[in-house]
Structure 1
């Protein structure tokens, strides 16, 4: 029979079809192009809880304080009192001056003057109204006549029904009470009502220019909460005039409300007053809890309580006790009473001050006070309470650092509430920049709180559309380093997940925004490292993201410029460590060398991931600046100094060496690169050895590099790597050996070093779990056995028998494929087995069988 002449050619010559299969794409990517992984930059934990941390770019003069003292006098009782707009007519009689003013402040008003021109009366009345308004804020003492004081002292015990206990009566003018304070029981008697009617009729007949009636009503309690005759008379006069102004003051208290107040609330307030002197904190806290329940039951929370001023005044006094536990109970009550203005600010400061200590975190656990804080954040008019909001979010920032409290806050909608507030701020800043400064302070606290919560609320961020809003904040506050750093930390955490990467990549203009911020803050290392980490994640698995980033104007040039800056910084830092007296001749970032290395690690990883795209990879491979900087990293940095940096540089060179373009800088400097890679092979780091073997696998396609491998005995390292029993290591070593067997004069060294036996062992041990590796081993043996006359002479007799047995076994589907694995994995193995292993293994087995026979020799006749 005539046999066709066998056409032999080495397997390194590729004849890929026009349309590659999925297995071929996977195989090709495994052989050369790889994405790199790296650890997320470590977020430093602040030793102290401050509104703005020690690394803040804000100077102490340009930011609200983190530390302050807070006392009862800081609260403003008139906050809860409605504004009095009705002016009373003057008294008919002339007040008398006190006879003995010694040891007593003269608080009597001046004598009335004769009537003047009506225009002058109006002008003087307005001026005096402003004067009495100042007095209501605490600037002036109250105007109280001596005879009224005596009358008040004599008549007070009979003003309320039922009369309060003796202790409560003594406490009306006790030391430490607010100026102008009044008893808690305010129900007037019938005699007082008659007296007020007589007074009202006389007052209406008087035509003399009036003194403002709000003077005595503005000093610390509402007119309906006061039992002084002057206040009661003023109240009666106002309630009967019917001018329409009363609807803007207070509604008349019903009998049911009065009874509930006297029966339920006053006894609790008296217990608070009596326990205050003993400072029994536990008892006071329990009493506050009961008071809250009683107010809630009587529908007296928010601004519904008629005696709200007196109630708040009693609560404010307890703040001076100084107990954090009690202060939180008081803050909960005060917020439930819907305070505004200065009082809201002070209560938020109080909570912020308590939350600064980690030891107080347990006080906030399972505490509905967090509900009150979140309700403050839900405000519609952000900038009317901006300072209170600042300390409120600052407290939430501290509390979100506790995992237990954070879980509770997330269940209450923390992320959604903060994102709504962020949107309000963004919308306001789009219209005008009036509140831009306070917006910046608010957003620092807000983004820091979101940063603390992002690890446990990824889906909440996605569902709430957080990523586009964060990009808007970066665009508006790009010059604020604190805000940019917080958002960069959020992005670095979110970009570790594929769904978040896809959402961020869909944000229009995000790449342009990142590049602009990198140029603006190129010396702020903690920001730069996180932006590069985020970009590296975006380009790790998304080919469209690689293309979009590459198309941004100046993107590659900007990245390479930062590469140069931080390479020089690292070089300078290394020189400073070697020669401590070396002075830097130019301004540079004062950072620890390891921090600079971290930037280089993330930056080089970005280049490696970008180079997977053919257009980007070809561009980078032909860029002398890019390749030159990578070579310099391998030159001056040892793997013992910074393992990840050197390995990333070698992996990037491996990706770039995949593109065999004419003007490739990698191919032009391949011999110098080969010398640098030998240092990695000689190290004790297996990751470094693996990366060096991968690069040699690409570079060894050149005859110059193959000659270098033989001259420097690099092939011995490759043969030895076959014993690693690691699939990736064996795969890379086989990639180098298959290229060496292209040269006929280099095939013999494979047999001399025992490479044939190790290849067969590798096929037997790792083949069933990695058919790509099994295919590569068969290709290497095919090249080695080209034009062989006898298989036994080529492989060795025992090796040939073992190889035939392995091939015949692996070519049987039932014996080769493992059906115990998952369905997806089993399908993948089957595709690789059918498309990559069978064609090569069948040809190799046919070649061996044609050149060897296993017939037993005949025995000699006896």
Structure 2
């Protein structure tokens, strides 16, 4: 009676069944390994742009939106010498009224009369900007001597040799407004701010005399106020700064060998002097004279010198047009990789100054300057050494604040904000390459801020592409995936971008790669993505579109090593990432059955199997096989059940190919498909079982367990058992039991299942004596808990293996022992 009962005992098909009672981690791991599989894929390759420019060659919006140019041509006339433009960037229109002053006293003595406003400057103000600039440059210090102090007058009437040599070329070392002042104390010059407060109809000569008398009185009483500060600044100016400016002009005019080195040293010395005298920023009242000299040096066209000039100009807090031109100048220098060393040597000032500009400048008034500023950081971040400096100087934190300001910009600034964001997101893309940047991206919530940018600028493909590159890089790391998943709206946002920019391959492939990473290990992410409006419609429309973009289907392998065109490879990469998303979504217990009943989804997968060959589309076909394997888990689907035999026939080329990955996925799929009697007959008729038995010789655990699954199902049919035995299936299964032993109880349990099905129902005679004895010996040893687990020292791992041993191995091993033992021993 016992033998009759055993005749009808056959192992269940190779498919784990969901059971609400099972709650151990061992069972969850076992279930995932046996059937539903998550696949990884390579991150899309992004070649480094060797052309450093604001907007790359692939920029889509260059013509439509008028992107600012990268090539720049800057010369001294491009700068505003007095640096007196209003902060708003708008020039004030000149006054038409020409004031007239009453004249008293001795007209023959010009120093006793009220000074008249020179007619030439007024004419210049009424003229155009170019005329004003030419007149200022044309004037020399010697022609303005009658309006200077007596000492200056004597010096200019009797110039020394050095002054004669420079009289034609050098620039004035004082502000333009100084030449309008009356007689004053030697060594002291009136500043631009003092000259600008004169009012029409006021006797400026009397005011100067009263002011001078007042200062002398205060000094006599021991009171040092503003006059002391002015005296100190004048002393520094006359004794140190003015000579340095004259040296700069002299060396620049000489153009001798080594002049650039000398000019750089002089700029450094001038910078140090101004810093020691606390005259940097806008505190120096004669800063316009310094700026005139520095701007003239730009025409020497030396990158190293221009960087020193820009450094000093930024320290003097230039604004308006001058700030814009300085940012353009530094950007132009940064475009050459050979100049990176200059920025590394001056990183403590240039990069700090630029980060300060990004922190403080307003988008509405200095938007274009911010654009070239961020463009410089983008170029420099391509250098690994400078990239490290940017991270140390909190570039990520500065970028986060700038993103927030740009996203709240008014509609009038929307275009320039978009231009800046192209550069800023490209800079963050480079920063994301460094492993130390990931904690910063998380702590400053950059991933969330970029989602906001995508919502505001979803029409700009350049911004969207840069952000997709950031996400594709960072989503490969668990902590970044968690940070991105905290924005549940990101799934809907990604789908909308996929729909809007479906023809932009580099954007589509990176968004799909990010979605694949998010859904790889998170059931919540799989469900949230599936719940988004139009999710399956968007994904399947992309699938269909990219599957048909290649005009010549890969039905036959190409002869020779000729590679497919680049566009074909990019289209296929989109399909690889898209199918991976579908495979990951299938793992969710609610999403999987829905996809298994989706006719269009199954048809597209079968179409890919039919059109593509393994030699050219290996990764794509591996992902398709994994998706079909996951879908075959849900056998209750009538749609998939009707397609099982067709799928099995299409899978045959994967089983017989030379790719181990494709063979493994196809074998796993056959493990589920072979539950169908039609599929089992197809496998036996086409001798697929011979290849499956051969896979048992593999040293791969996954390959062996997949082969055992197929053999378990094939052995359900008694006619198949003899054919499997002829191929040596029983002997190879016993070898697997010996080789893998207690190291993998799931594999050992599956081997026992396959053996039980093969020798059940009166098929014990298929076992020879030696195989029976070896099998009994192994089972006796493994059924002893102490012997089975003695090699595990770690207590936590021991508990895990004990759970796997009890659930995966023990039940089927007991049944196999009963089958092997004679009836009298069993009783």
* 2:387 pairs with one of 395, 400, 406: 406
Distance apart, 1:131 and its partner CA? 2.5
- Report what 1:708 is aligned to: 682
Change (3 A) 1:152 1:171: farther
Are 1:486 and 2:490 matched, yes or no?
no
Distance 2:712 2:573 in 1: 37
Runs of 5+ unmatched residues, structure 1 = 97-106, 111-124, 197-216, 227-232, 243-250, 579-589, 854-862
Aligned with 1:46: secondary structure?
coil
Q: Measure the CA separation in 2 of the matches of 1:142 and 1:95.
A: 33
Asked if 1:43 corresponds to 2:22, the answer is no
1: CA distance, partners of 2:579 / 2:746:
29
For 1:516 and 1:25, the matched residues in 2 are separated by 34
Alpha-carbon distance change, 87 to 682 in structure 1, aligned in 2, over 3 angstroms: same
**1:454 corresponds to which residue?**
432
Deviations 1:334-388 (A, max 9, x none): 1000000111011100100000011111111142211111111112522211111
1:144 Cα offset (Å) = 9.1
Q: How do residues 159-178 of structure 1 correspond to structure 2 at under 5 angstroms?
A: 166=160, 169-170=163-164, 173-175=167-169, 177=171
1:307 Cα deviation after fit: 1.7
Alignment of 1:350-749 (within 5 A): 350-366=329-345, 367-368=347-348, 369-428=350-409, 432-456=410-434, 457-572=437-552, 592-663=567-638, 665-749=639-723
In 2, Cα distance between the equivalents of 1:193 and 1:49? 50
Structure 1 position 142, deviation (Å): 9.7
Q: For the structure 1 residues 749 and 167, does the alpha-carbon distance in structure 2 shift closer, same or farther, using more than 3 Å as the test?
A: farther
Separation of aligned partners in 2, 1:795 and 1:145: 113
Structure having greater relative contact order (Cα 8 Å, sep ≥ 6): 2
TM superposition shift of 1:95: 14
- Measure, in 2, the Cα distance between the counterparts of 1:554 and 1:845: 54
Alignment match, 1:208: none
Equivalenced residue count is 776
Query: What residue number does 2:219 align with?
Result: none
Q: 1:235 to 1:516 in 2, by over 3 A?
A: farther
Q: Distance in 1 between matches of 2:509 and 2:606?
A: 21
Aligned positions of 1:749-788 closer than 5 A: 749-788=723-762
* Deviation readout 1:195-216 (Å, 9 max, x if unpaired): x9xxxxxxxxxxxxxxxxxxxx
In 2 relative to 1, CA 523–315 (structure 1 residues): closer, same or farther, beyond 3 Å?
Answer: same
> How far apart, CA to CA, are the structure 2 residues paired with 1:88 and 1:827?
99
Aligned CA distance change for structure 1 residues 619 and 148 (closer, same or farther; 3 Å): closer
Structure 2 matches for 1:9-24, cutoff 5 A? 9-12=9-12, 17-20=19-22, 21-24=24-27
1:708-728 per-residue CA deviation (whole Å, 9 max, x = no partner) reads: 111111111110000011100
Q: Deviations over 1:797-819 (max 9, x none)?
A: 11122222222232344443365
Change (3 A) 1:10 1:175: same
Are the structure 2 counterparts of residues 806 and 184 from structure 1 closer, same or farther at C-alpha, using a change threshold of 3 Å? farther
Counterpart mapping for 1:291-302 below 5 A: 291-302=270-281
| Residues 515, 411 of structure 1: alpha-carbon distance in 2 compared, 3 angstrom cutoff | same
- Report if the CA contact (8 A) 2:340-2:380 is conserved: yes
1:18 to partner: Cα distance: 3.2
> Which of 259, 264, 269 in structure 1 is aligned with 2:235?
259
Tell me the TM-score normalized by structure 1: 0.82
Give the superposition deviation at 1:849.
Answer: 3.4
- The Cα shift of 1:321 comes to 1.6
Mapped partners of 2:106, 2:464: distance in 1: 67
Give 1:830 shift. 3.0
Residue 296 (structure 1) shift: 1.3
- The answer for the alignment partner of 2:62 in structure 1 is 59
**Separation in 2 of the partners of 1:256 and 1:94?**
35
Structure-1 separation of matches of 2:82 and 2:207: 21
Q: How does 1:129-278 map to 2 (within 5 A)?
A: 131=126, 138=133, 149=144, 151=146, 157=152, 166=160, 169-170=163-164, 173-175=167-169, 177=171, 222=192, 237=207, 253-276=229-252, 277=254, 278=256
TM-score (norm 2): 0.85
Aligned-pair CA distance for 1:318: 1.8
Q: Is the 8 A contact 2:475 2:514 kept in 1?
A: yes
Alpha-carbon contact 2:2-2:823 (below 8 Å) kept: no
| Cα distance in 2 for residues equivalent to 1:167 and 1:355 | 41
CA contact (8 A) 2:327 2:369 kept: yes
Cα distance change on mapping 1:156 and 1:506 into 2, 3 Å: same
State the shift of 1:843 in Å: 3.2
**For each residue in 1:589-629, what CA deviation from the matched residue of structure 2 results, as whole angstroms up to 9, or x when unmatched?**
x9710000011111111111111112221111111111111
Listed one character per residue, the Cα deviations across residues 261-302 of structure 1 (whole Å, up to 9, x for unaligned) are 333433433433333223522222222222222211111111
Contact 2:9-2:761 within 8 A present in 1 as well: no
- Give the whole-Å Cα distance in 1 for the aligned partners of 2:236 and 2:187: 22
Q: In 2 relative to 1, CA 171–374 (structure 1 residues): closer, same or farther, beyond 3 Å?
A: farther
User: Which residue of the partner structure matches residue 829 of structure 1?
Assistant: 801
Q: CA RMSD in A?
A: 4.1
Residues 832 and 633 (structure 1), Cα distance of their counterparts in 2 relative to 1, 3 Å cut = same
Q: State the 1:59 CA deviation.
A: 2.7
Deviations 1:479-499 (Å, cap 9, x if unpaired)?
111111111111111211222
Contact between 1:160 and 1:188, CA under 8 Å: does it hold in 2?
A: no
Do the aligned partners of residues 24 and 780 (structure 1) sit closer, same or farther apart at CA in structure 2, a change above 3 Å counting?
Answer: same
Uncovered stretches (5+) of structure 2, i.e. residues with no partner: 87-91, 108-116, 197-202, 213-225, 559-564
- Provide the C-alpha distance between the structure 1 equivalents of 2:625 and 2:775, rounded to a whole number of angstroms: 35
Deviation at 1:767, TM superposition (A): 2.8
Higher alpha-carbon deviation: 628-637 or 366-375: 366-375
**1: CA distance, partners of 2:43 / 2:577:** 9
